[in-house]
Structure 1
Amino acid sequence: MTELDVRDLPPSERHGRIHGAFEELAPGETLTVVNDHDPKPLYHEMAVERPAFDADGYESEREGPSRFVAEFPKAADRDAPGADRARIADLDGEPHADAFPGREPKTIRLSLEAGERVPGHEHPDRTVLFHVLEGAVDVALDGDLHRVEAGEILRFGGESTVEPTAREESVALVALAPRPAE
């Protein structure tokens, strides 16, 4: 297990350092991050940005007023050839569940209660497909609101700041496809 204490780093450098340390992990290893604030925004970022992040194995604990410890496991290698299949209703994890941990494109089931939102974030170098399966979600892209209802798909570039808010209890399937290098 690798431990990274980022409390002494400038805030602008923390997530980059954490992502770098996570990438260096071998499959099946865990990165333990010590920070001075709740790691929930980092969890959301990792859940959608890092295909190898095993969101189901994530744990976090507040150990004091300025000490939070979170474990970010890297999914084990899966060499099975052929197709992968997942049943959306069977996916564990709230509000995010990774349908195919460690696989591209990153595919997330997002479940939100009425009024629940995911804080604004970006998905650089990705094209995002946001497919509402149940309910209705207001998706703010760089502040512009897009209402997406059950059966509709919203496609956008990951450089936009996205902030989804459920208008009612909702389930969406979000695919984050890597963009080819230009």
Structure 2
Amino acid sequence: MADQELDVRPLRKPDKHPTIFATYGALAVGGSFVLVNNHDPRHLRDEFDAEYPGGYGWDYLDKGPEAWRIRITKLATTPLPRVLHDTGTVNPGVTGAAWKLGMRERDLDANVIQLAPGATIDAHTGPDLDVLLHVLHGTGRLTTELDTLDLRPGALVWLPRRSGRAFTAGPDGLGYLTVHRSRQALVLEPVAGSPGR
């Protein structure tokens, strides 16, 4: 039986990748379709490598110049479990978001955050979701509504939804991993009565 063809050339650019991933998602394991495009879809392949590494097939049937045709095959029912990042290789000298979870379809968000020595995250009310925080390196303090907790490598910290919190990095900085349910954006709200900067 011939593979289904998906010709994305007439589609608007913002619709191309979502249509391709929806077509792929509807395949049974072992099923495939032939993508027809007007150029080599290298960025699309990068997205497949991020979403389904080792779990899909990519075979060029025609390489232009007018039409590129690629057979995309579903090799596994779901994305495969894999190692995403080695937190032991995070450079303590980098500040801000040093790593983040990048899959398109996911239930979780995860980030590696690094604070420079003495840096702070001012008092704020956390988002309406629970956050698990794991200290990777450095030291610091977590100030809650009622007390202050010392943060050291290996500490696994529970931040309940909408809890008040502030962070101060120690003399060697502070690096930590956060994991929480996926949401659109993480908005920090000032705690009532706390001074702003």
User: Which interval holds the TM-score relative to the shorter structure?
Assistant: 0.3 to 0.5
State the structure with more CA Rg. Answer: 2
* TM-score under structure 1 length normalisation: 0.47
* TM-score under structure 2 length normalisation: 0.44
